[in-house]
Amino acid sequence: MARKQKIAIYPGSFDPPTLGHLDVVRRAAALFDRLVVGVLDNPSKTPLLDSAARVELMVAEVGDLGLDNVEVRAFDGLTIAFASSAGASYIVRGVRSLGDLADETSMAETNRLAAGGGLETVLLPARAELSFIQGRLVREIARGGGKLDRLVSKRVAAAIRR
């Protein structure tokens, strides 16, 4: 009997996509048959980059990784609904710190129960050298016109400068 494909989503704001996010994409793509990166279009937040720009950047960044089992989609609403529309049984999230772990554990269990039990979250510890990167701080540096290299790719830094 054919093995069921293991499909995961990697949801996030990705405002902006950072080197930490790309590392999670690369590692998750090696764990699952298919990975669907979901860029949240959250109307209640004022983002640094609009949803279309974040999706476009993520597509380009993922393209650079040369992975044929990863796709990028925008989504709004609930992550569990996005998982269902992608046919995914797994959610991937990166964890940088104990603070993240507390939030992610709560989110993972809430999503598992809200989805009726069949949706597992797989947490990937951030690589030590990338674990300091936080979207909120990257946005502050970006808004203040600071240097973004080592935090985001050259492409993302250029998009933010524009």
DSSP 49: S
What residues from 99 to 158 belong to the interface with ligand PNS (CB under 6 A)? 107, 110-111
Please tell me whether residue 11 binds ligand PNS under the rule CB under 6 A.
yes
3-state secondary structure of 117: coil
On whether the CB atoms of residues 154 and 11 are closer than 8 A, the answer is no
**x/- binding map, residues 60-89, to ligand PNS, per CB under 6 A?**
------------------xx----------
Please, which residue, 77 or 87, has the CB nearer to ligand PNS? 77
Structure tokens at 80: 């569990």
State the Cα–Cα distance between residues 154 and 28, nearest whole angstrom.
23
Residue from 8, 9, 10, 13 binding ligand PNS (CB under 6 A): 13
Other Cβ atoms closer than 10 A to 101: 13
Q: Which residues bind ligand PNS (CB under 6 A)?
A: 11-13, 40, 78-79, 107, 110-111
